[in-house]
Structure 1
Amino acid sequence: MLTLHTADLLVPGGPEDAAVPLTAGAVLVEGDRIALVGPYEDLAARYPHARVRRWPGLLAPGLLVRSADQLLERTYYPDDPYEVTELGAEPITGEALADLKMTEPRWGHSARRGTQKLLARGVVAVSGRFTVPSVRTAVSRSGLTVLPPPPAAGPTVAPAAAGPVPPSLDPFAGRSAVAEAYYGTLQEGGPARFAAFAVPDEAALLAEGATTCVATVIGGRLLHRRR
């Protein structure tokens, strides 16, 4: 089935000289691939029977989050609403995590909640080395692409005396430009893997953050949609 995804502005990603934003652009998805990229009016006229999904704001490549093993194997996400009264709604790490006496199944349930939080931020890929089997299963089933961690280049630290930079669900943490967080590009024949954000442009996306995500598509499937 053909599906047209369109937004006010389409950013294809890739090298600056090739990543020219397209007003009222669209991607035509067939199966798990992008069949065409172009102006919505042109594609809609050529494929009048395609299902249309309109998103507000910006359509762009999905995002990459680094150190996801720390986010999913060293962080616990309380089950809302069942555990929030006792544990609170915020992710649990450090000494408080040790007090939870985590089990393999509990790690798996937490990782599923964690991957949903990532998908809700337009994330389509993560890097990290997962060692807990139930977490590996949760990540595999989520549809997220898993990349190996980058080669170690010494400890990552913030400016002097600020301490280590903690892993973050925010794909833009530690990045100075939106494009640094993109994973892949929107191009003909490429994987149907992208996200839509309710912001007018990339500057607003960096300022307002990935929680403005309204839709995440991986393998042509709509895996997150803001209600």
Structure 2
Amino acid sequence: MLTIHTDSRGLALAVEGEWIAAAGPLEEVAAEHPRARVRTWPGIITAGFVNAHGTELLEEAYHPDPREADVLGTEPLTGDALTALDLDDARWGASARRGVQRMLAHGTVAAACELPLRNRAVRDAVRRTGLRAVGRLGRPDWAPSLDPFVSPLPPMTQSARERGSAARFAVFDVRDEAELAERGAGTCVATVVAGRLVFRRR
């Protein structure tokens, strides 16, 4: 079913399958697709982001289960704390799924990684969620963060928002791009990957 996503500025994207079927003002897109379901979001629709630290956040960190929070906390564990856990494939896979969900909750649709991903459980978890793993040269020289805006460089984006491009975008509850840069990607309210709504803030 074709779905139109629209934001507070009246920008609309009509999504059919994995692709953007139309883009422009809501009135024009809705007139072109009068039977489409319309989802109205607060804030602005943007292209989805690329997290520069895919390897560090998915293969070199453990994302605790909420049920482990009293012992392990809620932040990703790395270094000696990670080594002490002695993780099996099942826990690595579960950690990667939680890590991907946390990325999606920050408008991330792709992660820059050292390819190929070495851990099969992580590789399978990434593939199943639809997050795109893209190659990179070298390691970023700033601390890993789930927020693509915590970077000395402007965040990289994936996919245009125009007819015929891949439906990989995010929505942030801010007035404009300047407020998004100031407040960061924690303002994400929805993320769409391959045409599917994979994250929605309740």
Same fold (TM over 0.5): yes
Is 1:187 equivalent to 2:162 in the alignment? yes
Equivalent residue number for residue 149 of structure 1:
136
Q: % of aligned pairs identical?
A: 47
Structure 1 residue aligned with 2:107 = 122
1:222 to 186, 190, 197: 197
Deviation at 1:176, TM superposition (A): 4.4
The question of 1:196 aligning with 2:182 is answered: no
2:77 aligned with 1:100: no
- Of 76, 79, 83, which aligns to 2:68? 83
Equivalent residue, structure 1, for 2:4? 4
- For these two proteins, the number of residue pairs brought into alignment is 200
- The equivalent residue for 2:27 is 41
Helix, strand or coil for the counterpart of 1:56? coil
**Residue identity opposite 1:137 in structure 2:** D
Which stretches in structure 1 are left out of the alignment for 5+ residues? Answer: 10-23, 158-164
Query: What's the secondary structure of 1:83's corresponding residue?
Result: helix
Alignment TM-score, normalising by the size of structure 2 = 0.94
Per the TM alignment, residue 156 of structure 1 is displaced from its structure 2 partner at its CA by: 4.9
Aligned: 1:134 with 2:121: yes
CA distance in 1, matches of 2:171, 2:21: 18
1:108-149 deviation line (CA, Å, top 9, x unaligned): 110010000001111101111310100000011110111112
Map 1:34-73 onto structure 2 (within 5 A): 34-73=20-59
Equivalents in 2 of 1:126, 1:91: separation in Å? 16
Match of 1:167 among 124, 127, 144: 144
Larger radius of gyration: 1
* Structure 2: gaps spanning 5 or more residues: none
**Please, what is the CA RMSD of the aligned residues?**
1.4
Instruction: Give the AA of the match of 2:94.
Output: H
The answer to whether structure 1 residue 30 and structure 2 residue 16 are counterparts is yes
